[in-house]
Amino acid sequence: MPPMKHDRETGLTYWRSLDELAQTPEFQEAVQREFPGDDWDQLPPATRRQFLKVMGASLAMAGLTACRWPKEEIVPFAHRPEGRTPGVPEHFATSMELGGAALGMVVTSFDGRPIKAEGNRLHPDSLGALTAIAQADILQLYDPDRSRRLLLREGGQQYVKGWSDFEAAAAEHFAGDGTGVAVLAGSSSSPTRAMVRDRFLEAHPNAGWYEYEPISRDNEREGTRLVFGRAFRVHPKLDEAGVVACFDADPLFDHPSSLRLAREFAAARHPESGIGARLYVAESSYSLTGVRADHRVAVPSSRVPVVLARVAHLLVAEHHIELPAAAAGYAGEAGQEISENEVHFAELLAADLAKFRGGGAILVGPRQEPAVHALAAVLNQVLDSTVGYTTDPDPDRPSHIEAIGELAAAMASGSVQTLLVLGGNPAYDAPADLRFGELLAKVPLSIHLSLYDDETSQRCIWHLPRAHGLEVWGDGAAWDGTLTMRQPLIAPLYDGRTATEVVAFAAGSKPTSGYELVRENLRSSAPAADFEGFWRRALHDGTVEGTAWDAVQPRLNPGRLAVAVDGLRALLDAGLPSADRPEVVVTADSRIWDGRFANNGWLQELPDALTKVTWDNALLMSPATARELEITDGEIAAVESGGVTVEVPTFVLPGQARSSMTLALGYGRSAAGQVGNGVGADAYQLRTARAPHVVSGATVRGTGRSYHLATTQDHFAIDTAGFKERNRRVGELVREAPLNAYLANPEVFHEHEHHPPLISLWKDQEYEGEQWGMAIDLNTCIGCNACVVACQAENNIPVVGREQVLNQREMQWIRIDRYFKTEPGLGSAEIDNADVVFQPMTCVHCENAPCEQVCPVAATQHTTDGLNAMVYNRCVGTRYCSNNCPLKVRRFNFFNYHKDPADTTKMQFNPEVTVRARGVMEKCTFCVQRIEAVRIGARNDNRPIADGEILPACAQTCPTKAITFGNLNDPKSSVSKLREEKRSYATLAELNIRPRAHYLGRLSNRADGAGPQGHGTPHGEAESHGKETA
């Protein structure tokens, strides 16, 4: 913990880290040194002999280059497929399945190689956007660590086998009535898989079928069962909501429909056309929804039910909302220990829920117990909320935790003779107390189908290579049930098969090929007259319109409510966690999910939205708890629960609930692959079947050892002139205002622009044709990182590894700056609960670009359409440009990060973008390759470029459409219109850099009478006005 005594002196409103707030020497050095890793003392000593060797080698190379470059061959098709023009990218609609819901996407294929995934506009959960994880999945396809063959492990030996060997060996085990046979599958929305499963169970009636997902929304499902009598699926709707209350819920990020919900939320928050969607969040750790909240309280997860119960109580007692008789018990409780803050929060929320009756929504997160979901469902029902329901697609299945428990019991009793594990990785991710990995040894024939030869495969007799989602035929259902197609973009690279195909084999039925199975299943729901037409249409669109499940109007089931009320009462009486007995919340990781993406370099290197940590998970705790436990930031903490100890570095995060710690799952893998092995600590060891989400009563202590987390929070810090002065004289980088202040005075975002007249030393360039510009709306940006991965995939940006990130050498062209916000001069209590804002930062293509003025070789130049272009071939690597860049958006190739890529890794590269070598500077190009492609096409057709026709990768994938790109020379273009808005401002305008990317100010929508805490007046004091000169 850095000391807090300096915060009055620095007087910062926005700060990147506790280090910056305290102005520690480490932070100051980081800001002052442009290239922190550039420490000559730390380089291995180079001897004279090495030097001569290197020089000799370069001379030899210089000699070679004088010859003609290698002879190049052209290998045309022998028979070119009809309609295919080699070199012209094609797009195919397909889908990806994660946790039992399919997400539609459109994949770009270049000469038969899929290179980039984007969202499918026609898909209800995508709407054209795609999550960071779904975009990064394509890297998994080309992962050189993927399993390439069947393995048989027997008597300590390992044999390479073929599919026919497996089929011959397994046939007799799948011959009988299924006694002793068990199948453990992941959750799937695929109707074809359901069909094949039924066939399997028909053929083997005594076989057991179990479904397990480590991360699921089962608690929500059980909650609906508690109040309605049967399982329903919950569908929030945010664009019609005047008030949204989230209890440990993160609808904007951690939801199968998060992309749709984020789009709806952004629409609701539009200052002119939106309905408002005032957001209340009570949660234990910052979620992306929590960052966007107007009112937020940090409450330990085990105390979240208390706040919700208080809201229910207030609704009944103060706002005269009537609960059904059977649910009356919910409102009776008001006696629990509850803090003033929480009461205040509950009062404001209850008043708003009563006011927006019929236009509110209460959402509860998947880690809360079913009884809490039940209470939310009752309140939503009574308040007539904007929450819809459909019947659950498989209402009779047990919860995932129950299912894996039953299977483990069966395995322990020795009744399982043959176990077929379809995907998943239960030896790693099953609840630790089940000891699933050890139980596998008791099964005589265990078979694991998996993308990698992972922890589970290594404990099974047979390992079968699984085909990647982009290699196979399949189908699935969106969260709302819309039929979603999947088609292969490439033939299986390593002869893998899908779960469906393996089950079809085990069922002994025909056909067993994915293509035929999918078509057969679709035939049952397609119009008989024109099946081929229907099939082609479905594949073309990727979805079939109008196949969403019908919405249902469930009724409260009075008989069951009593059970729910009792369940809730038990939760309310649970003790408050303390520093001695804190709760540890284990949750899905924002990047590698449950661990299945651990070997994905893009995701490992993606900075977490809140901590900005890469290549690790960390134990998040609040500054107050860290002080109480005397643990410092970065110290390795030992978390002990139920006899298991996990050692993990600490990250002190403001906004974390007191005595509540958060630890992400998915790390500490031992058989993930070269990228993911040994990264982070394994939180699954703390997870038990009884407490899969919140481990209460753990003990946490410091070990005294420290660890350097590769966090990027202080990287590329923008050093604005004089910390103390900046609040008063120049506009902030991030600008915010309350909605009503903005409506009353639209100039509120420009009040602090005080600078001398801006006169340029250089003659202005004149523009005739297009002039590209961008607008980034901070009001709708939710910090989800989708743009960062989109940019990485589109522009061949390398992954550099943890050590390089520690040296501030990460290469992503977009970074999402996360600032904490407190009013200057406040004490530690406010710092502990600091607000958070996000600002995506990339090259803003300054009109008066400081980088261009210092390049000695003119490697960075202005083009006639206003881009700040980077010419890699001219760059000699002086790095002056990066030194002179005030926004710190340039990235330097310190090494040849793309040297000798695996054959498969190369296949992912975008051929339209140069792969940069060592010693070259690079940065955002506004996706110049996309601009050129559209421009050439438009010129060929003799037409102007339409507004919105050019979409840079970041703007294309943004779920909230926060990024708008277009022609500034056209006053009717959407980007020009956004620039006209009063919320639009330029960062560092006082430097006269005249950026082409402008930002739109962020608005908060706090309840009246809520006081200025957190989001309040924009910045500084009114007396400093009146000296405006420009």
Partner 1 sequence: MNEDKSNDIFIFPKWTGVLRPAVAIGALGGLLYATVVVAFGFSPLATDVGYAPVQPVPYSHALHVGQLGMDCRYCHTGVEEAANALIPPSQTCMNCHKAVRANSEKLIPVFESYSTGMPVEWIRVHDLPDYVYFNHSAHVRRGVGCVSCHGRIDTMEVVSQQKPLSMGWCLECHRKPEQHLRPVEFVFQLDWVPEEDQLALGTRLRETHDINPPQDCNTCHR
Instruction: List CB contacts of 432: < 8 A, sequence separation 6 or more.
Output: 644, 684, 685, 686, 687, 688
Q: Give the HSE-up count for residue 103: Cα atoms under 13 Å, Cβ half-sphere.
A: 25
Residue with tokens 């469902």: 377
Pairing between β-strand 474-477 and β-strand 815-821 as defined by DSSP bridges: unpaired
- In the complex, minimum distance from the CB of residue 867 to partner 1, in angstroms, rounded to a whole number: 6
3-state SS class at 82: coil
What character string, x for contact with partner 1 (CB under 8 A) and - otherwise, covers 938-977?
A: -xx-------------------------------------
- In the complex, minimum distance from the CB of residue 80 to partner 1, in angstroms, rounded to a whole number: 4
CA 1028 to each of CA 750, 768, 990: distance values in angstroms, whole numbers, following the listed order: 10, 32, 12
Name the one range near partner 1 by CB under 8 A: 82-90, 458-466, 513-521, 781-789. 82-90
Nearer CB in complex with partner 1: 854/1007: 854
Pick from 341, 328, 331: nearest CA to 295: 341
How far apart, in whole angstroms, are the C-alpha atoms of residue 987 and residue 994? 9
Find out whether 602 and 799 touch, Cβ atoms under 8 Å: yes
Nearer CB in complex with partner 1: 44/76: 76
Residue type, 973: S
Tokens coding 444: 């005589």
- In the complex, minimum distance from the CB of residue 116 to partner 1, in angstroms, rounded to a whole number: 15
Nearer CB in complex with partner 1: 85/1029: 85
How far apart, in whole angstroms, are the C-alpha atoms of residue 403 and residue 187? 11
Residue 82 in contact with partner 1, rule: CB under 8 A = no
- In the complex, minimum distance from the CB of residue 794 to partner 1, in angstroms, rounded to a whole number: 11
CA 425 to each of CA 219, 418, 645: distance values in angstroms, whole numbers, following the listed order: 22, 17, 22
Query: Rounded to 10 degrees, what is the CA torsion of 532, 537, 539, 542?
Result: -150
Nearer CB in complex with partner 1: 197/916: 916
The DSSP secondary structure of 401-468, one letter per residue, reads HHHHHHHHHHHHTT--SEEEEESS-HHHHS-GGG-HHHHGGG-SEEEEEESS--TTGGGSSEEEEBPP
Binding to partner 1 in span 20-59, by CB under 8 A? none
- Figure out which of the listed residues 57, 552, 744, 936 binds partner 1, where binding follows CB under 8 A: 936
- In the complex, minimum distance from the CB of residue 132 to partner 1, in angstroms, rounded to a whole number: 24
Nearer CB in complex with partner 1: 85/164: 85
- In the complex, minimum distance from the CB of residue 240 to partner 1, in angstroms, rounded to a whole number: 44
- Figure out which of the listed residues 41, 73, 747, 1021 binds partner 1, where binding follows CB under 8 A: 73
Residue 86 in contact with partner 1, rule: CB under 8 A = yes
Name the one range near partner 1 by CB under 8 A: 42-50, 80-88, 445-453, 979-987. 80-88
Residue 929 in contact with partner 1, rule: CB under 8 A = yes
Residue 865 in contact with partner 1, rule: CB under 8 A = yes
Nearer CB in complex with partner 1: 64/529: 64
Judged by CB under 8 A, the number of residues near partner 1 is: 35
Residue 417 in contact with partner 1, rule: CB under 8 A = no
Name the one range near partner 1 by CB under 8 A: 455-463, 558-566, 576-584, 860-868. 860-868
- Figure out which of the listed residues 42, 48, 69, 766 binds partner 1, where binding follows CB under 8 A: 69
Name the one range near partner 1 by CB under 8 A: 177-185, 343-351, 625-633, 865-873. 865-873
Name the one range near partner 1 by CB under 8 A: 35-43, 601-609, 861-869, 1013-1021. 861-869
- In the complex, minimum distance from the CB of residue 40 to partner 1, in angstroms, rounded to a whole number: 24
The neighbouring-strand residues paired with 119 are 105
- In the complex, minimum distance from the CB of residue 849 to partner 1, in angstroms, rounded to a whole number: 14
Name the one range near partner 1 by CB under 8 A: 254-262, 530-538, 713-721, 924-932. 924-932
Tokens coding 557: 């089931």
Residue type, 720: T
Residue 64 in contact with partner 1, rule: CB under 8 A = no
- In the complex, minimum distance from the CB of residue 869 to partner 1, in angstroms, rounded to a whole number: 4
Pick from 170, 920, 812: nearest CA to 505: 170
Residue 871 in contact with partner 1, rule: CB under 8 A = yes
Instruction: List CB contacts of 31: < 8 A, sequence separation 6 or more.
Output: 714, 717, 719
How far apart, in whole angstroms, are the C-alpha atoms of residue 555 and residue 229? 9
Name the one range near partner 1 by CB under 8 A: 83-91, 175-183, 446-454, 729-737. 83-91
How far apart, in whole angstroms, are the C-alpha atoms of residue 713 and residue 31? 12
How far apart, in whole angstroms, are the C-alpha atoms of residue 461 and residue 455? 12
- In the complex, minimum distance from the CB of residue 870 to partner 1, in angstroms, rounded to a whole number: 8
Q: What is the largest CA-CA distance in the chain?
A: 91
> Helix crossing, 132-141 with 786-794: angle to 10°?
30
Binding to partner 1 in span 752-811, by CB under 8 A? none
Residue 158 in contact with partner 1, rule: CB under 8 A = no
Name the one range near partner 1 by CB under 8 A: 64-72, 186-194, 532-540, 546-554. 64-72
Instruction: List CB contacts of 431: < 8 A, sequence separation 6 or more.
Output: 401, 404, 405, 684, 687, 688, 689, 692
How far apart, in whole angstroms, are the C-alpha atoms of residue 554 and residue 328? 19
- Figure out which of the listed residues 45, 87, 335, 856 binds partner 1, where binding follows CB under 8 A: 87
- In the complex, minimum distance from the CB of residue 66 to partner 1, in angstroms, rounded to a whole number: 8
What character string, x for contact with partner 1 (CB under 8 A) and - otherwise, covers 878-917?
A: ----------------------------------xxx---
Residue 79 in contact with partner 1, rule: CB under 8 A = yes
What are the b/e assignments for 979-1009, b being 16+ CB within 10 Å? bebebbbbbbbbbbbbbbbbbbbbbbbbbee
Find out whether 985 and 750 touch, Cβ atoms under 8 Å: yes
- In the complex, minimum distance from the CB of residue 350 to partner 1, in angstroms, rounded to a whole number: 56
- In the complex, minimum distance from the CB of residue 77 to partner 1, in angstroms, rounded to a whole number: 4
- Figure out which of the listed residues 72, 340, 396, 550 binds partner 1, where binding follows CB under 8 A: 72
Residue 932 in contact with partner 1, rule: CB under 8 A = yes
Residue 861 in contact with partner 1, rule: CB under 8 A = yes
- In the complex, minimum distance from the CB of residue 856 to partner 1, in angstroms, rounded to a whole number: 16
Name the one range near partner 1 by CB under 8 A: 208-216, 608-616, 926-934, 963-971. 926-934
Residue 65 in contact with partner 1, rule: CB under 8 A = no
How far apart, in whole angstroms, are the C-alpha atoms of residue 12 and residue 869? 35
The DSSP secondary structure of 694-711, one letter per residue, reads EE-S-EEEEEEEE---EE
Find out whether 609 and 288 touch, Cβ atoms under 8 Å: yes
Residue 63 in contact with partner 1, rule: CB under 8 A = no
Tokens coding 589: 């990781």
Name the one range near partner 1 by CB under 8 A: 381-389, 646-654, 661-669, 931-939. 931-939
Nearer CB in complex with partner 1: 736/912: 912
- Figure out which of the listed residues 215, 421, 775, 867 binds partner 1, where binding follows CB under 8 A: 867
- In the complex, minimum distance from the CB of residue 855 to partner 1, in angstroms, rounded to a whole number: 12
Pick from 425, 293, 68, 262: nearest CA to 785: 262
Residue 925 in contact with partner 1, rule: CB under 8 A = yes
Pick from 659, 603, 595: nearest CA to 629: 659
Residue 325 in contact with partner 1, rule: CB under 8 A = no
Which backbone phi and psi does 310 adopt, to 5 degrees? -65, -40
Residue 112 in contact with partner 1, rule: CB under 8 A = no
Binding site for partner 1 (CB under 8 A): 68-69, 71-80, 85-88, 861, 863-865, 867, 869, 871-873, 912-914, 925, 928-929, 932, 936, 939-940
